[in-house]
Amino acid sequence: MIDLKRIKGIVGQAEYEEACRQMPQEAANLMRWRSGCVNSPVPYKISDLIWAEEKTVRSKLDAIFAIYEELPAYALLAGIAEHWKELGASERNSVWARFRGYLYSDEESVSRPVEYTLWCDYFENPKRVAEAWLQMLTPPRSLKQVEKLLFVSGPVPYWLKKTLYEEIIQEDNYHEAIFTSLLGSRFDILGDIDKADAGAILHRLTLEPSPPQFEMLRAALEK
């Protein structure tokens, strides 16, 4: 077990408390601009200190998530991605379970750092994306859960998204989330899309009122 009181003492208790005060707003703004930048160096220092401990990977993950409960910072989650090769199947499963819990939280300060790490550390990584996508879709799942995943699904291989689209397209309340996913699939830098199939999906959506980006996406899919 890692002594978190000692870790906090190393970075400075006052600095830690100030970071805890500032971080919720910074975290809540993360995905709004597709940015992972934060002002405080504290979570980066804590992440480095925890991963430098001569403890088991499980102990390090437990410590990271204990800190995350107080300091919901992307830097803590980025540290997990950086050390992903050190995790066995059991440790990875525990991370996915934590990510699902945080992603589906009503607190944006808790969920947005997870959205960001999924988007840039897993969905953009060809070696991780399939596992991440399927794990995050583990049932049971709600409309809100699917919306949050589809919001960051642009880089996910289209054939994986297509399976989900076909599952949920019969229900109109999912259509806005599907549209958001198609936008990201077409316009994200690493977005993945089948234009012909996506165009067919787009025309099956009932969107009222029609989003301002609808014609832009339709035209982009017809090129």
The pLDDT of 115-123, averaged and rounded, is 95
At 94-111, the pLDDT tens digits run 999 999 999 988 888 899
Q: Look up residue 86 and give its DSSP letter.
A: G
The pLDDT of 189-197, averaged and rounded, is 96
Residue extents of the structural domains in the chain: 1-138, 141-223
User: Is the backbone peptide bond immediately before 209 cis, with ω within 30 degrees of 0?
Assistant: yes
pLDDT band at 37 (very low <50, low <70, confident <90, very high): low
CB 180: neighbour CB atoms within 10 A? 18
Residue 172 to residue 213: CA distance in whole angstroms: 19
Does residue 154 have a pLDDT over 60? yes
State the pLDDT at residue 33: 45
